[in-house]
Amino acid sequence: MAPVGGTAVQDHVALAEIELCGELIIAASAAEDRLSLESIDEVLRVAEERNPD
C-alpha cells in the first residue's frame, strides 16, 4: 500500500536508468537489424561521458 500524504521519494538514478532504457528500446525497435555496439553507445551517450567537450 502506498503511503498517504505525498511522501513518495524519487530515485533520480533509477529514473535516469529508466529513461535510457526507454531510449534504447526505441532505437532498437526502429533499427532494421541488431544495434551495433557503437549505436548502443551513441544512444546511451557513453562517448559524451568519456569526452566531455
pLDDT digits (tens, 9 = 90+) for 7-53: 566 788 889 999 999 999 999 999 999 999 999 999 988 876 566 55
- The span from the CA of 44 to the CA of 23, in Å, is 8
Tell me what pLDDT residue 8 has: 64
Residue 48: the pLDDT is 64
Contacts of residue 33, Cβ cutoff 8 Å, sequence gap at least 6: none
pLDDT above 60 for 2: no
Cell 526502429 sits on residue: 30
At residue 10, the pLDDT reads: 78
Distances in whole angstroms, Cα of residue 45 to Cα of each of 22, 33, 40, 41? 13, 20, 8, 6
pLDDT of residue 51: 60
Q: Judge contact between 17 and 23, C-beta under 8 A.
A: no
